[in-house]
């Protein structure tokens, strides 16, 4: 039996696009002699559809897609994820289902049992959990159909559920498992995914065929990495990350394979690919073509520019250099050198005269008060206005260049340097930005070395450095990571050897600046805990105050 893994990049709500893509893959798989083709979870709708699921028309269109796929199943079985209507009054109106089509008929529909409600997931909001567990018999084989989370209750130190759907299916003695999945990327997830699937193989002693989405849906990125693991717990194949791919595996040959075939999993290369995918799909799926951003000569804007050029092409990325009287000559040169290295357009728009006009108008109102963060923020907002003017006039979407360290502690100006349509590096700590820059430069100097080695500075006052307001990033970032990703409280972090005053100061900064994060652009998610849907904190609260 030949089984095709179809790792695809869907568009949420674009039923014509998604169905047409699946029909193309079905034809290719059929031409190559496949008996079964497997598509990801909710492949008809794209994932996550969120509140689109509350529209009857949306669900009807998903069913229409299934009808079109059914007609293509004359000679090949199709396994595909889609929402299903719940025919009874009790419970949620929908199920999250996997459908088995063959002979132009629907053979079986298995609903998802384990509905995640952690991090970015909110499936219990929409779906009813399964209450029946059967299998499909096809060409002499018994197949257990599962949906994503239904296999994720094994291999965890703290299981979230009290039931494993496969335990119920095993009474039918299935020959192998098919899992249709929508498993978002983070830089740790690929290793965890293999571990979890191997635990299932170990528990049930049968192979697993796992198919995941690839591509980005606004802030959520899917890496693909679809897998086949034989009953000896060896990875027979792992499909490429961040690419669409069709691969056919012969069931009868997999158990003899001892050498594992896996993809590289180094953190920084994965983050780079993920961010490029996030930019490319954010623009491509909405229909945007060109980007603009401010290029300061600093590291964050330099890294963001390189990623944008790789994602969109140098002809589709425009940068503004907006020096003030506080900008160093070297910063301007660094920015120019980067733009020249990339062969891209750049424009220099000095802001000194604009800034002085603001101060002239505000001086009577400020009553001789001293220079402080107010004047710094005015500069940031002037730059934001200039960038948005280019965006409005030419249709360039503004990319935000704030890193996760800055976003965490509020080191940014609302309606200024926090403006943008998408936050490219808002889930990448400053220490990781340095690693990214070095990785970008591994073969040749693209980012000027001076940009990487100079002390970070917003250059909003004379001789300013980030360390004037913040702890050094190699001190700040580990504490932020423990609090944000690790959910460690202050006492736990202090007990690990960190200074009590420093920990309390940093954690208070994080909590006090929640209001800023609620007003910023969606953040491309590359870590296990990103700002946005996956981290839901109240704005008004007194914890750690």
Residue 104 catalytic? Answer: no
pLDDT at 9: 98
pLDDT at 462: 83
Q: Which of 176, 119, 117 is nearest to 143 (CA)?
A: 176
CA atoms of 374 and 439, how far apart (whole Å): 37
pLDDT at 464: 81
Tokens representing 106 are 């629907």
C-beta atoms surrounding 238 within 10 Å = 22
Place domain 276-464 in its CATH homologous superfamily: HUPs (3.40.50.620)
Question: What is the domain partition of the chain in residue ranges?
Answer: 2-265, 276-464
Q: Are 102 and 77 in contact (CB under 8 A)?
A: yes
Angle, helices 430-440 vs 267-286, to 10°: value is 90
Cis amide prior to 48 (ω within 30 degrees): yes
Residue 310 catalytic? Answer: no
Residue 460 in this model has a pLDDT that exceeds 80: no
Catalytic entry in 41, 123, 128, 149: 41
Please name the residue that has the structure tokens 């996030």: 278
Q: What are the pLDDT digits (tens) for 244-259? A: 999 999 999 999 899 9
Residue 287 in this model has a pLDDT that exceeds 80: yes
Rounded to two decimals, the pTM is 0.96
Q: What percent of the chain has pLDDT over 70?
A: 100
Residue 235 in this model has a pLDDT that exceeds 80: yes
Average pLDDT, the chain: 96
Secondary structure (H, E, C), 407-464: HHHCCCCCCCCCCCCEECCCCCCHHHHHHHHHHHCCCCCCCCHHHHHCCCCCCCCCCC
Read off the pLDDT of each residue in 44-51 and give the average, rounded to a whole number: 98
Q: What are the pLDDT digits (tens) for 498-511? A: 999 999 999 999 99
pLDDT at 43: 98
- Does 2-265 match 276-464 in CATH topology? no
Please name the residue that has the structure tokens 């206005």: 385
**Residue 446: φ, ψ to 5°:** -100, -55
Residue 465 in this model has a pLDDT that exceeds 90: no
> DSSP label at 532?
B
Residue 40 in this model has a pLDDT that exceeds 80: yes
Place domain 2-265 in its CATH homologous superfamily: Carbon-nitrogen hydrolase (3.60.110.10)
Alpha helices in 150-234 (DSSP H): 165-169, 189-204
Confidence of residue 456 (pLDDT cuts 50, 70, 90): confident
Catalytic entry in 61, 112, 273, 430: 112
Tokens representing 296 are 């300061």
Contacting residues for 539 by C-beta, under 8 A, at least 6 apart:
514, 515, 518
CA atoms of 425 and 418, how far apart (whole Å): 12
Read off the pLDDT of each residue in 474-498 and give the average, rounded to a whole number: 97
Catalytic entry in 61, 123, 128, 148: 148
Residue 92 catalytic? Answer: no
């Amino acid at each position: 039996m030949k089984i095709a893994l179809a790792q695809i990049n869907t568009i949420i709500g674009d039923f014509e696009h998604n169905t047409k893509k699946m029909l193309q893959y079905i034809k290719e798989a059929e031409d190559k002699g496949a008996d079964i083709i497997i598509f990801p979870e909710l492949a008809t709708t794209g994932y996550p559809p969120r509140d689109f699921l509350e529209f009857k028309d949306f669900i009807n269109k998903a069913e229409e897609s299934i009808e079109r796929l059914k007609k293509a199943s004359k000679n090949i079985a199709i396994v595909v994820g889609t929402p299903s209507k719940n025919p009874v009054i009790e419970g949620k109106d929908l199920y999250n289902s996997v459908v088995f089509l063959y002979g132009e008929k629907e053979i079986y529909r298995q609903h998802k049992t384990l509905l995640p409600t952690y991090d970015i997931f909110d499936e219990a909001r929409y779906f009813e959990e399964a209450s029946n567990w059967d299998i499909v018999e096809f060409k002499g084989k018994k197949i257990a159909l599962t949906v994503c989370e239904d296999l994720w209750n094994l291999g965890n130190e703290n299981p979230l559920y009290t039931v494993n759907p496969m335990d119920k299916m095993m009474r039918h003695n299935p020959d192998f498992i098919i899992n249709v999945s929508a498993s978002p990327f983070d830089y740790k997830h690929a290793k965890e995914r293999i571990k979890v699937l191997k635990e299932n193989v170990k528990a049930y002693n049968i192979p697993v065929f796992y198919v995941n989405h690839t591509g980005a849906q606004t802030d959520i990125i899917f890496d693909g990495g679809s897998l086949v693991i034989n009953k000896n717990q060896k990875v027979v194949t792992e499909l490429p990350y961040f690419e669409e791919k069709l691969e056919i595996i012969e069931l009868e040959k997999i158990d003899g394979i001892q050498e594992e075939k896996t993809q590289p999993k180094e953190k920084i290369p994965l983050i780079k690919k993920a961010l490029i995918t996030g930019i490319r799909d954010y623009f491509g799926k909405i229909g945007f073509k060109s980007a603009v951003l401010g290029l300061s000569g600093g590291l964050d804007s330099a890294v963001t520019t390189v990623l944008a050029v790789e994602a969109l092409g140098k002809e589709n990325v425009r940068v503004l250099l907006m020096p003030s009287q506080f900008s160093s000559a070297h910063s301007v040169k660094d920015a120019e050198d980067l733009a020249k290295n990339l062969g891209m357009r750049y424009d220099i728009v000095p802001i000194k005269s604009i800034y002085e006009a603001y101060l002239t108008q505000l001086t009577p109102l400020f009553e001789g008060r001293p220079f402080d963060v107010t004047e710094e923020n005015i500069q940031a907002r002037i730059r934001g206005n200039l960038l948005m003017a280019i965006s409005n006039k030419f249709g360039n979407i503004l990319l935000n260049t704030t890193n996760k360290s800055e976003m965490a502690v509020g080191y940014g100006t609302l309606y200024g340097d926090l403006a943008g349509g998408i936050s490219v590096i808002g889930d990448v700590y400053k220490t990781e930005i340095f690693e990214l820059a070095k990785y970008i430069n591994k073969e040749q100097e693209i980012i000027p070395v001076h940009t990487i080695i100079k002390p970070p500075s917003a250059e909003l006052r004379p001789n300013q450095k980030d360390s004037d307001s913040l702890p050094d990033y190699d001190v700040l970032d580990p504490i932020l990571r423990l609090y944000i990703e690790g959910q460690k409280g202050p006492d736990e972090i202090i007990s690990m050897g960190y200074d009590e005053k420093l920990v309390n100061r940093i954690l208070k900064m994080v909590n006090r600046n929640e209001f800023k994060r609620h007003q910023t652009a969606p953040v491309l998610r590359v870590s296990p805990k990103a700002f946005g849907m996956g981290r839901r904190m109240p704005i008004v609260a007194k914890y750690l105050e």
